[in-house]
């Protein structure tokens, strides 16, 4: 497909939902961390798992939702932080981190970064 004017990335590589994980104790990307995406079933409280990925050496993974895959609704990113910290020889206060968010505009690109240490985490809506 043609590259939209002003965009630096072909549409096939532009995900509508991306994440990256940074180890704030070392200042380095968190590589090899499992990330799962689930969508809340409406109505109800059950979650449907959509995809699982692992972070690469840059703490990033392939887009969790590709362009056109997102629909309005409530989603959850589940980060397997305990296994990551155990792999580094550390224990973690948080066995996993779940970030729940709502997609209201399915065509808008969303980026949800996670900053982790053994005893804290922070997330925000990135760009």
Q: How far apart are the C-alpha atoms of 121 and 8, rounded to whole Å? A: 31
DSSP letters spanning 62-79: S-SB-TTT--SEEEEEEE
78 is annotated as contributing to ligand binding: no
Displacement of CA 64 from its chain's centroid (Å): 7
90 is in an annotated binding site: no
39 annotated as a binding-site residue: no
User: Which residue ranges make up the annotated binding site?
Assistant: 20, 60, 124
User: Which residue ranges make up the annotated binding site for substrate?
Assistant: 20, 60, 124
């Amino acid at each position: 497909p043609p590259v939209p004017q002003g965009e630096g990335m072909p549409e096939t590589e532009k995900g509508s939902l991306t994440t990256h994980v940074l180890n704030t104790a070392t200042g380095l990307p968190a590589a090899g961390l499992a990330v799962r995406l689930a969508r809340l079933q409406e109505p109800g409280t059950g979650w449907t798992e959509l995809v699982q990925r692992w972070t690469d050496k840059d703490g990033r993974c392939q887009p969790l939702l590709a362009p056109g895959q997102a629909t309005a609704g409530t989603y959850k990113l589940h980060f397997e932080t305990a296994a990551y910290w155990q792999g580094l020889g550390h224990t973690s206060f948080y066995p996993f981190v779940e970030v729940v968010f709502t997609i209201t505009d399915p065509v808008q690109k969303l980026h949800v970064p996670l900053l982790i240490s053994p005893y804290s985490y922070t997330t925000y809506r990135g760009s």
